[in-house]
């Protein structure tokens, strides 16, 4: 058992814990640190594999709460944006990808800390735009969540409907992205080996997050997570 494997297992377990606790963030947290241990493209594809599995697990019990009109525009947008994101991941140098991941992380942290959320976005263009951006970001750096979550908070959905709609979107979004990775030759045997090798830490992390949901100070925990994301994003931007 190598030190790199232990570090990777701890990172993936922590990211999965955040997913189980908060219902988001597995890729954001993992990709803040995994690019220091492996090629960014490998890390992005690996976390996409885990993301679709966990999104499907969350979606199944909520499937009756999905409102199709709420996610249709998002899905149309993501179908258009994903090819550009996959192309970027397949062609850009590793240093550029690390800086892109860092830029996304810092942007998400700024939005979170400044509370820069609009009250209401109406009109199809916003759903199409959010889906398009999610496809590009998801395909390129494995983080489709921020634009879609931002859009969802402006739609007046109840908590259960929001969670169901988001997971429905992520299942399709991640499936389309994985298909793109396969087509581009990025879904490799190495990714499969890593996914199997880190499966136990990932499952344990999610299970722990779900179990501790009612025992954790969510405000404090969220503050700590975003502080770490911001710090890692700055390091990735600086070092590339």
pLDDT digits (tens, 9 = 90+) for 106-127: 888 888 888 766 667 777 899 9
pLDDT of residue 184 exceeding 90: yes
The pTM (predicted TM-score) of the whole model is 0.86
What is residue 36's DSSP assignment? Answer: G
pLDDT of residue 239 exceeding 80: no
CA distance 50 to 58: 12
CA distance 171 to 58: 10
State how far Cα 71 lies from the chain centre.
Answer: 17
Which 3 state secondary structure label does DSSP give 239?
Answer: helix
The domains of the chain are located at 3-239
Give the range among 19-23, 96-100, 201-205 with minimum mean pLDDT: 19-23
pLDDT of residue 171 exceeding 70: yes
């Amino acid at each position: 058992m190598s030190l790199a494997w232990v570090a990777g297992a701890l990172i993936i377990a922590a990211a999965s814990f955040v997913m189980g606790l908060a219902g988001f963030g597995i890729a954001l947290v993992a990709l803040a640190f995994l690019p220091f241990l492996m090629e960014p493209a490998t890390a992005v594809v690996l976390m996409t594999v885990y993301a679709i599995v966990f999104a499907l697990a969350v979606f199944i019990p909520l499937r009756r709460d999905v409102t199709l009109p709420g996610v249709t525009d998002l899905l149309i947008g993501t179908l258009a944006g994903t090819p550009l994101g996959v192309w970027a991941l397949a062609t850009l140098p590793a240093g550029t990808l690390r800086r892109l991941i860092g830029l996304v992380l810092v942007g998400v942290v700024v939005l979170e800390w400044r509370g820069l959320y609009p009250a209401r976005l109406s009109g199809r263009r916003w759903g199409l735009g959010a889906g398009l951006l999610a496809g590009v970001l998801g395909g390129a750096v494995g983080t489709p969540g921020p634009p879609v979550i931002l859009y969802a908070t402006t739609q007046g959905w109840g908590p259960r409907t929001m969670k169901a709609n988001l997971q429905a979107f992520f299942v399709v979004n991640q499936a389309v992205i994985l298909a793109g990775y396969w087509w581009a030759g990025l879904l490799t045997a190495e990714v499969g080996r890593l996914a199997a090798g880190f499966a136990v830490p990932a499952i344990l992390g999610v299970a722990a997050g779900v179990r501790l949901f009612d025992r954790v100070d969510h405000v404090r925990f969220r503050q700590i997570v975003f502080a770490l994301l911001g710090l890692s994003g700055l390091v990735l931007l600086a070092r590339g």
